[in-house]
Amino acid sequence: MAAPIQRRSLWGEGLLLLLIGVFCVFPFYWMVTTSLKTQVVALESPPVWWFTPTLANYWEVLFVDKVGPALINSIIVAVCTTALAVGLGTPAAYALARFEFRGKTDLWFWFITNRFVSPVVLAFPVFLISRELGLRDTHLALILMYLTFTLPIVIWICTDQFRSIPRELDEAAMLEGASQWRIFRSICLPLAMPGVAVSSILSFIFSWNELLFAYILAPKAAKTAPAMAVTFMEGYDVPYGKIMATSTLIVVPVLIFALLASKHLVRGLTMGAVK
Amino acid sequence: MSFRVPRRTIAAFLGPAVAALAIVGIAPLLYAVWKSLHYFNLTKLAQQRFVGLENYAAVLSDPVFWQAMGRTGLLFIIAVPIQISLGLLIALVLHRPGLTFWKTLTRLSLVLPMATTYAVVGLLAQVMLNQKYGVINQMLGWVGVDAINFIGDPTNAFIAVVMWDIWQWTPFVALVLLAGLATVPPEIEEAAKLETKSNWTVLRHVQLPFLIPSLVAVLILRTADTLKLFDMPFTMTRGGPGSATEFIAVLIERVGNRQFDIGMAAAQSIIMLAITIILARLYIRLFYREVR
């Protein structure tokens, strides 16, 4: 008597899982298929599900519409800001995890509070300042501004990671006469590599996805891919295939990284509020 | 025990990060406060002058600002309860034993929406919700609903933003709550399941107390992110039609970047920041302090 009920509920559960999966994945399916349509096919009403796919949109956006250079800008900005955040953030995280000093809690709160500051607050003053300093439309301006969210992420996740390394290791090294910097560099940092990797992936994802700073600070030469995608919408004739090809090119690297760090993505998005 | 280290060492470790965050985070903020006390329009630079708190008075009595705030609040009030109920349902399903492989697969698919570039989410909405060529309207047609003008009609555009917010963030809420469910000690959960057949009783009296921290985290993070929400409505509707989807960050962008009134935009963003910081402090007090 119990078995058939069990089986039926399993089927129901499977169906529910499928529904959840389709809910999450369908927009991506539609994005990729639309990117393989010609404009004529994309503008069929009602939309068609079966058609002859073409890579023409990708060819066109990459080499004619300058999405290629925009993607390169995105890579430069995301990689540099991540490297900088790790370089600056890991020593700070080590200090927060190991040293006792006055004002530590306040400092830590300040780092975390950055998670809540909207970029729109900083964008205009930075726009004016970067104009004065001749940094407008440069990679450097974006790299520096992206530190406002990458640095707190690195500090949070790495502080956690350093705390999990036994202090006895530090103490033993200290008895050997190693300097604090040496202990950090040669003992703790290598052991904290998992945390460094996760926080690097997360700061890469967040910088890659950023739009507002990029849109306001980098209108031409340093334009990143998301800002590029926005400009496609500005004409009268909306090129669906090209927009979706650009979107696919933007989203695919992020999704790969997100799947690699899937266990930690939620932790990063909540600044560690959830393990 | 903690190491006693000279202040110089501490400064060497922390100094660079603190200096960097002060330069990119605090300096522009102070500059924004300074500019908010001026009439400063990029197209009328000659008329630039110190006006004291005039901009603030203008913002606080500006119906457009409060309408945008209200709209942002309305989005939160509609979307977040739906995200929490759907997310809880998904988390409970994934938490049950069995079908392990399929559950892992589902969990991976849940990761995708929240990692997606927010600007792309808005573009996707444009394509999928189009009245004539959109697949969503095609699907509505299958169940006998007439095509809806999602982007062009004020109410529908707002609904579309809510729908898309739900799509992107329900998986996030589900995963946060799933992590919360994992903190329930298994022996307690099993004992409770032997006591009662009702899943509801188990949820209400055994699991819910353990979910409170996750729920608080979800509420406050969704508050912060809703106040920040810019990319998705901007790429989808540019805040329109009219001002139907002009959320607070979109409004500030329009005033600063499209009306060039940077003094006013600065005042608006400082007021928004004050609201955000009050909420952030609340969050930290409610949640992080217990963790530490």
Examine the pLDDT at A21 and tell me if it is beyond 90: yes
Query: Which among B32, B171, B217 is the nearest to A125, CB-wise?
Result: B32
Domains by residue range for chain B, with CATH: 63-291 (1.10.3720.10)
Q: Which amino acid is at A44?
A: E
Residue A122 lies in a domain: yes
In this structure, how many other beta carbons lie within 10 angstroms of the beta carbon of residue B202? 19
Q: What is the pLDDT of residue A8?
A: 65
Give B102's contacts in chain A (Cβ within 8 Å).
14, 17
A63: in domain: no
Q: How does pLDDT run across A31-81, given as a tens digit for each residue?
A: 999 999 888 888 887 888 888 888 888 998 888 888 899 999 999 999 999
Provide the residue range defining the domain that includes A194.
Answer: 70-269
Distance in angstroms (rounded) separating the CA atoms of residues B167 and B121 = 10
Of A46, A230, A269, the CB nearest to B235: A230
In a domain, A54, yes or no: no
pLDDT for B1 = 44
Residue A251's alpha-carbon distances to A58, A268, B112, B172, in angstroms, are: 14, 19, 10, 18
Paired with B38 in beta bridges are B50
CB contact under 8 A, A258 and B112: yes
* pLDDT tens-digit series, residues A126-135: 998 988 898 8
- Closest-CA distance, B148 to chain A, in angstroms, reads 13
Q: Letter for the amino acid at A246? A: T
Which CATH number do you get for residue A147? 1.10.3720.10
Give a yes or no: residue A107 inside a domain: yes
| Contact call for A274 and B270, based on CB within 8 A | no
DSSP 8-state code for residue A133: T
Q: Where are the beta strands (DSSP E) in chain B?
A: 38-39, 49-50
Q: Do B253 and A120 touch (CB under 8 A)?
A: yes
Query: Are residues A244 and B123, on separate chains, in Cβ contact within 8 Å?
Result: yes
Residue B169 near residue B79, CB atoms below 8 Å: yes
A162 vs B239, more confident: A162
| CA B226 to the chain's CA centroid | 3
CA distance B47 to B176: 51
Q: Does the bond joining A46 to the residue before it have cis omega, within 30 degrees of 0? A: yes
DSSP-assigned beta bridge partners for residue B39: B49
Burial, A51: exposed, middle or buried (Cβ in 10 Å; 0-12, 13-18, 19+)? middle
Structure tokens at A83: 């490297």
Q: For chain B, where are the alpha helices, taking DSSP H only?
A: 7-21, 27-36, 54-60, 63-95, 100-115, 118-129, 135-142, 154-181, 186-195, 199-201, 208-228, 231-237, 248-253, 262-283, 289-291
For residue A192, the distance in angstroms to the closest alpha carbon of chain B comes to: 16
- Structure confidence at residue B287 (pLDDT): 64
B201, B103, B273: which is closest to A125 by C-alpha?
A: B273
Q: For residue A150, give the chain B residue with the closest CA.
A: B21
| Inter-CA distances, B207 with A59, B113, B230, B259, Å | 53, 27, 35, 51
Which one of B9, B105, B115 has the shortest CB-CB distance to A265?
A: B115
Which of A164-178, A220-234, B11-25, B212-226 holds the top average pLDDT? B11-25
Residue A275 has pLDDT above 60, yes or no: no
> Would you state the structure tokens that stand for residue B290, as one six-digit string?
């217990």
Q: What is the reported pLDDT for A274?
A: 63
pLDDT, position A9: 76
Task: Report how far residue A206's alpha carbon sits from residue B26's, in angstroms, rounded to the nearest whole number.
Answer: 20
pLDDT greater at residue B173 or residue A268: B173
Below-50 pLDDT ranges, chain B = 1, 291-292
**Between A92, A243, A269, which is nearest B172 by CB?**
A269
Residues of chain A with Cβ-Cβ distance to B275 below 8 Å are none
Tokens 């590029």 correspond to: A228
Q: How many CB atoms within 10 Å of residue B188?
A: 13
Q: Is residue A257 part of a domain?
A: yes
- Contact state of B217 with A274 under an 8 Å Cβ cutoff: yes
CA–CA gap between residue B79 and residue B195 (Å, rounded) = 35
Measured between beta carbons, the chain B residues lying within 8 angstroms of A129 are 27-28, 31
Q: Looking at the domain assignment, is residue A169 inside a domain?
A: yes
Distance (Å, rounded) from C-alpha A184 to C-alpha A178?
A: 10
A215 part of a folded domain: yes
- Is the separation of the CB atoms in A224 and A80 below 8 Å? no
Q: Kindly report, residue by residue over A238-254, the tens digit of the pLDDT.
A: 788 888 999 999 999 99
Q: What is the three-class DSSP state of B261?
A: strand
Collapsing DSSP to helix, strand or coil, B3 comes out as strand
CB contact under 8 A, A20 and B17: no
Q: How far apart are CA B231 and CA B245, in angstroms?
A: 12
Phi-psi region of A271 (alpha: psi -120 to 50; beta: other; left: phi over 0): left
| Bridge partners of residue B49, in order along the sequence | B39
Structure tokens, B147: 């095509």
Number of CB pairs < 8 Å for A and B? 288
Mean pLDDT of A190-210: 91
* Residue of B4, B38, B102, B112 best to disrupt the A interface, most CBs of A under 10 A: B112
Domain count, chain A: 1
Distance CA A116, CA A109 (A): 11
What Cα–Cα distance (Å) separates residue A207 from each residue in A65, A145, A159, A224, B180? Answer: 22, 10, 21, 10, 28
Chain B residue with CA closest to A145: the answer is: B24
Name the 3-class secondary structure at B34: helix
Least confidently predicted of A82-86, A196-200, B128-132: B128-132
Two structure tokens written together for B237: 């509707």
Residue in B127, B223, B253 to test binding to A, most A beta-carbons within 10 Å: B127
pLDDT for A235 beyond 80? no
Amino acid identity, position A78: A
Is pLDDT at A1 greater than 60 in this prediction?
A: no
pLDDT given for residue B292 in this prediction: 44
Q: How far is CA A6 from CA A11, A238, B217, in A?
A: 9, 51, 35
Cα–Cα distance measured from residue B179 to residue B87, given in angstroms and rounded to the nearest whole number: 12
How far apart, in Å, are the Cα atoms of B160 and each of A148, B39, B244, B247?
31, 37, 11, 14
A93: tokens are 């995280």
Cβ-proximal residues to A139 (8 Å cutoff; 6+ apart), any chain:
A73, A76, A77, A80, A218, A222
Q: Would residue A275 count as lying in a domain?
A: no
